[in-house]
Amino acid sequence: DAGVIQSPRHEVTEMGQEVTLRCKPISGHDYLFWYRQTMMRGLELLIYFNNNVPIDDSGMPEDRFSAKMPNASFSTLKIQPSEPRDSAVYFCASSLWSSGNQETQYFGPGTRLLVL
Amino acid sequence: QQQVKQSPQSLIVQKGGISIINCAYENTAFDYFPWYQQFPGKGPALLIAIRPDVSEKKEGRFTISFNKSAKQFSLHIMDSQPGDSATYFCAASSGAGSYQLTFGKGTKLSVIP
């Protein structure tokens, strides 16, 4: 398997522009997570999905952030409008629930976002 | 209540030495404690994990020690190698089927020859 795939790997945009980050989870995984990583705040969970349904979006910082998972193999995280403080590395991760036990989360390589 | 506190923020160890990273938590409902390793430009990857029914887990040169009463757990890297230089994150979650990992702030480990 190719692992979790994220695109783009790098994104530079200007304040006010819409940004869309994409994620393809590992095939067969039923959980998908979006994280944001910054030096100040570390790794923060933004939202996660189970079987394409959003379960907890309490980590989404503002209404400017939205995430969708239209099918089991694709998810997007959208920021509209973007602001300089959104600059961070955004990670997507996926996992497979099994026998009621937590399973490993497999992280993608991340998207490094810079908002000017 | 959801916080996981990790220390030190950075660590420099000589090759062959022991690296020790500590984490403390407050939420007594946490029952799964993984450590993730992250190399520059890469996503975190699971290194080793422990549940509170054991006090220690060893995988190769990596050992997790867990102290339930103190609500602390630590990662020991024996015979540290330059290739171990990375950022290490502890994390915790609670409840079977609950996948909300709360991460520590990370420790940047540098192993010098």
- pLDDT tens column, A50-84: 999 999 998 998 899 999 999 999 999 999 999 99
Find, among B106, B107, B82, the residue nearest to B13 by Cα: B82
Find, among A70, A13, A4, the residue nearest to A35 by Cα: A4
Structure tokens at A71: 């099918």
pLDDT at residue number B94: 82
pLDDT at residue number A80: 97
Residues of A in contact with B105 (CB under 8 A): 42
Confidence band, pLDDT 50/70/90 cuts, at residue A96: confident
The DSSP code for A63 is T
Residues of A in contact with B98 (CB under 8 A): 102
Per residue, the 3-state secondary structure of B14-46, as one string, reads ECCCCEEEEEEECCCCEEEEEEEEECCCCCCEE
The DSSP code for A54 is E
Q: Does residue B100 surpass a pLDDT of 90?
A: no
- Mean per-residue pLDDT, B60-74: 96
Q: Which residue has the higher pLDDT, B44 or B93?
A: B44
- Judged by a CB distance cut-off of 8 A, whether residue A4 touches chain B is yes
Contact B99 A48 (CB under 8 A): yes
- Mean per-residue pLDDT, B49-71: 94
Q: Does residue A104 surpass a pLDDT of 60?
A: yes
- Mean per-residue pLDDT, A87-108: 84
Contact A100 B97 (CB under 8 A): yes
Of the residues A26, A37, A43, A99, the best mutation for testing chain B's interface (the one with the most B CB atoms within 10 Å of its CB) is A43
Q: Residue A96 and residue A94: Cα distance in Å, rounded?
A: 7
Q: What is the tally of helices (H) and strands (E) in chain A?
A: 0, 11
Q: Does residue B2 surpass a pLDDT of 70?
A: no
Q: Which one of B43, B93, B100 has the shortest CB-CB distance to A107?
A: B43
Residues of B in contact with A42 (CB under 8 A): 89, 103-106
Q: Residue B38 and residue A105: Cα distance in Å, rounded?
A: 13
Q: Residue A79 and residue A62: Cα distance in Å, rounded?
A: 9
Three-class DSSP category at A86: helix
Question: CB neighbours of A97 closer than 8 A, spacing ≥ 6?
Answer: A30, A31, A50, A103, B97, B99
Residue type, A79: I
pLDDT at residue number A1: 65
Contact A102 B104 (CB under 8 A): no
Three-class DSSP category at A72: coil
- Mean per-residue pLDDT, A22-39: 94
Question: CB neighbours of A48 closer than 8 A, spacing ≥ 6?
Answer: A31, A32, A33, A34, A54, A55, A56, B99, B100
Q: Does residue B70 surpass a pLDDT of 90?
A: yes
Q: How many residue contacts between A and B have a Cβ separation below 8 Å? A: 52
Whether the CA torsion A47, B106, B40, A31 is positive or negative: it is negative
Find, among B75, B68, B106, B100, the residue nearest to B2 by Cα: B100
- Mean per-residue pLDDT, A19-44: 94
Q: Does residue B96 surpass a pLDDT of 90?
A: no
- What percent of chain B has pLDDT above 90? 81
Residue A104 neighbours by CB distance under 10 Å? 14
Residue labelled with tokens 């799964």: B32
